[in-house]
Amino acid sequence: MYSPAVLGQVFINGISLSAIYILVSLGFTLLFGIMRVVNFAHGAMAMLGGYALYYIYGQFQVPYLIAAPLAALTVATGSLVFERLVYRWFYQKMFQSMIGLLGLDMAIVFTAVIIWDPHERSVPAPISAVYKVGPLFLSGNKLVIIAVAAATLAAFYLFTHFTRYGLAMRAAAQDVEIAEVQGVNTDRIYTLSFFIAIFMAALAGGFFAQTYVLSPFMGERPLMMAFIAVILGGMGSIPGVALGGLILGLSESFLGTYFGGTTSVFVTFGAVILLLVFRPWGLLGTPET
């Protein structure tokens, strides 16, 4: 059980799990960090990303490297309607946003039920082969997801640290009023942040649908994992999301393999409860003043 081969496989499985969790959580924490919006409709946006990829890649057979970002772009662009009609009313209103966006989530999910029916579908993987490297098995699909998650995280880091708009986003995340005083157009920053957040949710939704299953209800799981990763890392903290997602994925893989599924769930949620008791702002978050 504790042979290097098994440990190596545990690590690889953990990294591929972490990649999905990080991708799903990035947009969620971005919306909270900048607009103080708890996006209960995040799972629904991920679900729309899954359907967009299903049509663009699965049905219209657009090459995958174009289809994946195009699907996310389509959802992000379409969701600007929601931004204008719904989200905008809840910026900087954390508690109201929870209820309002829960309603939006229900509306989107059950519209999807009417349009696509609740039947579960599969989105073909770009690489369905499984590679054997020494004693390790590597799923081609998961390698793609790990690569895209890493690239997205890196691109997002570069954007927020080395571009004018990225720096303005970080400034708004730290203190909206001070950022406005310094000349940052917060309306534009909100729209941009929203667009990026939904783009990432939709991208993650596509991967999730590809790895697991596509249905109108598929967003519940990503939403829950995003919550846990974000709480672990600290609400609103981008490095925190990366750390939270990594811990979540690796611990699930290690505990699930060595101690079983039930123990894994018990320990993971137990750790989150302890963290909320002793460090409610998360591992890399900052306490509310």
Partner 1 sequence: MLDFKRTLLAFGALSLAAGPYVPAAHADEELKIGVIAALSGGGTAWGQGLLRGVEIAAEEVNANGGLTVDGTTYTLKVIPFDDQYNAAQAKTAAERLVHDEKVRFMFGPMGSPGALGAIPVTQPEKVLQFVEGYAPKILDNEWKDDSHVFRVGLSSGEFSDPVVEWVKESMPEVKKVGMIAPNDAVGQQAITALVERYKNQGFEVWTDFYERGAKEFTPILLRMVTENVDLFDLNSNAPGEAALLLKQAREVGYSGKVLQAGGAGVAEIVEAVGPAAEGFLKYDVVDLSDPKMQNFLDMYREKYTGLINGLAPEYYSAAQILFEGIRRADSLDTSKVRDEIEKMEGWETPFLGPVRWTGKEKYGVEHQIVIPFYIMKVVDGKGVVEAKIVPDLD
- Is residue 1 at the binding interface for partner 1, with CB under 8 A as the rule? yes
Interacting residues of 1 by C-beta distance below 8 A, sequence separation 6+: 258
By rule CB under 8 A, what string of x and - marks binding of each residue 61-100 to partner 1?
----------------------------------------
Q: Which residues 195-214 are close enough to bind partner 1 by CB under 8 A? A: 211-213
SS3 133: strand
Identity of the residue, 155 or 265, whose beta carbon is nearer to partner 1 in the bound complex: 265
User: Which of 17, 44, 56, 68 is in the footprint of partner 1 by CB under 8 A?
Assistant: 17
Burial string for 146-162 (b: 16+ CB within 10 Å, else e) reads bebbeebbeebeeebee
- Is residue 132 at the binding interface for partner 1, with CB under 8 A as the rule? yes
Candidate segments 51-59, 143-151, 196-204, 248-256, binder of partner 1 by CB under 8 A: 248-256
Q: How far is the CB of 206 from partner 1 (least distance, A)?
A: 15
SS3 139: strand
Q: How far is the CB of 19 from partner 1 (least distance, A)?
A: 12
In the chain, the amino acid numbered 266 is: F
What DSSP line would sit under 212-278, residue for residue? S-B-TTTTHHHHHHHHHHHHHH-TT-HHHHHHHHHHHHHHHHHHHHHH-HHHHHHHHHHHHHHHHHH
- Is residue 42 at the binding interface for partner 1, with CB under 8 A as the rule? no
In the chain, the amino acid numbered 176 is: V
Q: How far is the CB of 12 from partner 1 (least distance, A)?
A: 9
Yes or no: say if 232 and 244 are a contact pair by the CB < 8 Å rule. yes
Identity of the residue, 9 or 185, whose beta carbon is nearer to partner 1 in the bound complex: 9
Q: Which residues 213-242 are close enough to bind partner 1 by CB under 8 A? A: 213, 215-217, 220-221
By rule CB under 8 A, what string of x and - marks binding of each residue 249-278 to partner 1?
---xxxxxxx-xxx-xx-------------
Candidate segments 115-123, 159-167, 182-190, 227-235, binder of partner 1 by CB under 8 A: 115-123
Nearest to 8 by CA among 132, 130, 135: 135
- Is residue 113 at the binding interface for partner 1, with CB under 8 A as the rule? yes
Nearest to 230 by CA among 16, 57, 40, 1: 40
Residue 139 forms beta bridges with which residues?
A: 130
Q: 10 Å Cβ neighbour count for 251?
A: 18
Identity of the residue, 2 or 278, whose beta carbon is nearer to partner 1 in the bound complex: 2
- The site for partner 1 (CB under 8 A) is made up of 1, 6, 9-10, 13, 16-17, 102, 106, 109-110, 113-114, 117-122, 124-125, 128, 130, 132, 137, 139, 142, 211-213, 215-217, 220-221, 252-258, 260-262, 264-265
